[in-house]
A and B are shown apart, each in its own frame.
Chain A
């Protein structure tokens, strides 16, 4: 667990004396060679000794990193055979039900990869599953960072980079999904075209520039190709490097616990412990994605058929990370305004442009908003547990609920036909839920957090219920409570900032959370800090909303006279 222990383990692996000498010699020789070239031995030494904390949730971002590696490798293989061209050819490959059909070269070459290139279909499926896992793991990693408050100062910039990485991941995925030029992806591009077109004034121009003319045109596949294989991956690579260099420089956060402070990191050294662990994990991610690709078919483009503007299939859905946009479009009422011979398509503009704009901005700027509201300017290297910050956790679950209803809306026809619901009823129920469910989710989550907090405090203050009932001489019955084991109690006390000596009085200080003092009762000071202006008033209101006092736990021992 601790750095020392890791050292001991590492040493234990090299105990055979005859090997030790040789191994040490080899390592030293290599390091000396590198140092002679770069003068970097001290940097390498420091890096090898870098300590990483051990909690499982800190490995979620690694899934994204490793699936990105898989995407690069499998993507290179696919580019060897893919033709990003919309020239029409006649298919003469080995897939019988499409032989003789006119299609674009992009689609024909995708069929070629799927049926006539050795390992082509497996590689396509690895690439596609890895893409889904890539975006999914980014999102799951963000859950961890959000709900533990890891985005707080000094890691706010890294959160911003992470948000951009997620958005770029979504764009990259959509571009890749569009490349085969099959009926499904063409339908998706058609929607993208219309969404861009709905932007007032510039929409038409944006579409013309992007597609090189009217939909579908002759250019979009080759443009998306270069965006997909060069531009976005390049930016992703640069930003992933920045993301990890910042992480390396700032060191990883950790949950509070015995011996853990804002100024130290306790865990496994990079070499050998963390290095071996993370490499093992790399291969497990490879294995999981390859297993999915081997056993579960994804994106069967040969069934969709070539894109044709006159055709559409029931159940045309995008990959999951676009599904929320599909949902917002499907759920939006059909509103339009006509002004001066122009149509403003609110039915597309709001769900397709404005809503995702607001959602992504709120997501990216959340750390700044929270810091502004709580006036928290402190450095945070220790994480919060979700229950200890009920309002943030509530807001997070609220946003996720909103998002999940949108996702369900994107699959409304699949839901309707699977469960034999009315499509209209499904859409209407989801519209109501989109508005009604998030506030309920907020309230329930906050309640859960407060309950868990209460439970933690009770554990520390009262101890564990033993189930042993004892009768007092006075005739009263009490349950015998045992104190928590010392180590557990210390961890818990650190996590919730519990001070046993000031129990009762300490509640106000705990409630104030991130080290900021309760407003002084002194009248003079209050006149000075009274908020002036709308923004300041809003900030004060939000701050009140944010601070959730811990509920006091009543004393345990009943008075004998009871």
Chain B
């Protein structure tokens, strides 16, 4: 906003037109100042005045305390980000709940992908952290409607195959991405975490906004993931549900391996 003031007059090659063009320049400067003033007023009136209003909220204070101890080394004292970690202003409560709730944050080490691990903070602390980060700027909130069981599971399956299977595999078993990154297995993810991942797009995952995949569709996807996870493998051992690679290993090691041992046994009887 401060960049606007220095307007250096440019010398014109044609003196006859110089006066007219100077007048025009002054007029346009006036319009610009007026416009900026209006925007500034509107912004001051409409923007959520989170920081000043709720700084006294004890949850925010507690969250800030946790943040300073556990997160600020990488994310900065005011969550402004740094060389090692992104800014958290505007990521929203859902992102914090997902990252801390799945144990990905605080990170153990820098790497291409933060692995899921046991959460360091308990549920209350995660809520406090989320409230603090949410107070820094608007972002997706923690989803509250998670009534996925009444969703259309078959439709969820179709959506899953279109939007999710290409990285997470057909059964949500996970898969490799580029340069050591990976789409994790969905077997441990809770419905809330799956929902949060879709609205916040953690790590390499794209954000699936509510216009792209509507909230009922998100619930249908969660329903599908949870349904196929819960359903038993009707054909026996599931072999990791990763497709033909493990079937290959079984056919060689157990199938032909076992049969070769049988031929040796028969051969030894001859």
Contact = CB atoms under 8 A, between A and B. Distances in A.
Contacts, number: 207
A319 B247 CA distance: 8
A96 B239 contact: no
A308 B161 contact: yes
Nearest to B249: A320
B6 interface: no
A297 B237 contact: yes
B251 A280 contact: no
B255 A56 contact: no
Interface string A55-93: 111011001000000000000000000000000000000
A66 to B, nearest CB: 9
A300 B174 contact: no
Nearest to B269: A277
Contact of A98 (B157, B173, B179, B243): B157
Interface stretch (A156-164, A233-241, A410-418, A511-519): A410-418
A408 to B, nearest CB: 10
A410 to B, nearest CB: 8
A400 to B, nearest CB: 13
B143 to A, nearest CB: 23
A295 B237 contact: yes
B243 A315 contact: yes
A312 B165 contact: yes
A54 interface: yes
Nearest to B234: A121
A299 interface: yes
Given A284-B259, A422-B180, A311 B166 contact: yes
B51 to A, nearest CB: 40
B169 A313 contact: yes
Interface string B187-228: 000000000000000000000000000000000000010011
A314 B248 contact: no
Interface in A316-342: 316-320, 323
Contacts of B256: 63, 133, 136-137, 140
Name the prevailing secondary structure of the B interface residues. Answer: helix
Contacts of B165: 183, 305, 311-314
Interface stretch (A23-31, A38-46, A285-293, A485-493): A285-293
A319 to B, nearest CB: 5
B77 interface: no
A314 B266 contact: no
A137 to B, nearest CB: 6
Contacts of B228: 97, 303
Nearest to A416: B176
Nearest to B166: A312
A320 B252 contact: yes
Nearest to A314: B175
A413 B165 CA distance: 14
Given A300-B233, A320-B252, A305 B170 contact: yes
Nearest to B169: A314
B242 A414 contact: yes
B241 A296 contact: no
Given A1-B270, A281-B266, A125 B235 contact: yes
A303 B244 CA distance: 13
A296 B237 CA distance: 5
9 closest A-B pairs by CB:
A56-B267, A314-B175, A297-B235, A54-B270, A320-B248, A422-B180, A132-B251, A313-B170, A416-B176
Interface of B: 112, 152-155, 157-158, 161-162, 165-171, 173-180, 182-183, 224, 227-228, 231, 233-239, 241-245, 247-248, 250-252, 254-256, 258-260, 262-264, 266-268, 270
7 contacts: A115-B234, A125-B236, A133-B251, A133-B259, A297-B236, A320-B244, A412-B176
Given A296-B236, A423-B176, A423-B179, 17 more contacts: A1-B270, A60-B260, A63-B263, A97-B157, A101-B158, A137-B256, A277-B266, A284-B262, A296-B239, A297-B235, A300-B235, A313-B170, A314-B183, A317-B245, A420-B180, A421-B180, A422-B178
